[in-house]
């Protein structure tokens, strides 16, 4: 077994045997690997999956998986993460839970406003030069 596979197996074992509060703390670490986030996203604990959903470095396919989670709370956390691609957020706008849908719409609007502000600042900078 290669090192990457061994690491994934070790993380999966950790997810099965570790206290969920420690797993939440692990998922909240800025330096956690994407491999670890993938494994933590498979946790039975809603709190652990929410912590993964909030992380800025979750791999795309894991975001897709979490956006389809059976827990409204996990989907709500994905819907509020501005690092989630618009394609996934757009799916959540159509979520059956109105709170998830609303939050996804607000996150898309917030991202567009930030992008617009960045463009305006760049234009001002160019004009000032």
Strands in 1-129 per DSSP E: none
Stated pTM of the model: 0.81
Burial (CB < 10 A; 0-12, 13-18, 19+), residue 71, is middle
Six-digit token string for 105: 């719409």
Give the integer Cα–Cα distance in Å for 32 and 15: 14
Which tens digit of pLDDT belongs to each residue from 10-62? 666 666 666 778 889 989 999 999 999 999 999 999 999 999 999 999 999 99
């Amino acid at each position: 077994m290669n090192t990457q596979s061994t690491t994934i197996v070790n993380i999966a074992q950790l997810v099965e045997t570790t206290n969920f509060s420690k797993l939440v703390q692990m998922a909240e670490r800025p330096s956690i690997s994407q491999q670890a986030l993938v494994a933590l996203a498979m946790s039975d604990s809603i709190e652990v999956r929410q912590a993964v959903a909030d992380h800025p470095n979750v791999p795309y396919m894991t975001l897709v998986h979490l956006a389809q989670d059976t827990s409204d709370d996990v989907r709500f956390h994905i819907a509020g993460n501005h690092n989630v691609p618009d394609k996934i957020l757009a799916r959540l706008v159509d979520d059956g839970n109105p709170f998830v849908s609303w939050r996804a719409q607000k996150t898309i609007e917030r991202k567009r406003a930030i992008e617009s502000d960045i463009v305006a600042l760049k234009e001002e900078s160019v004009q000032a030069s």
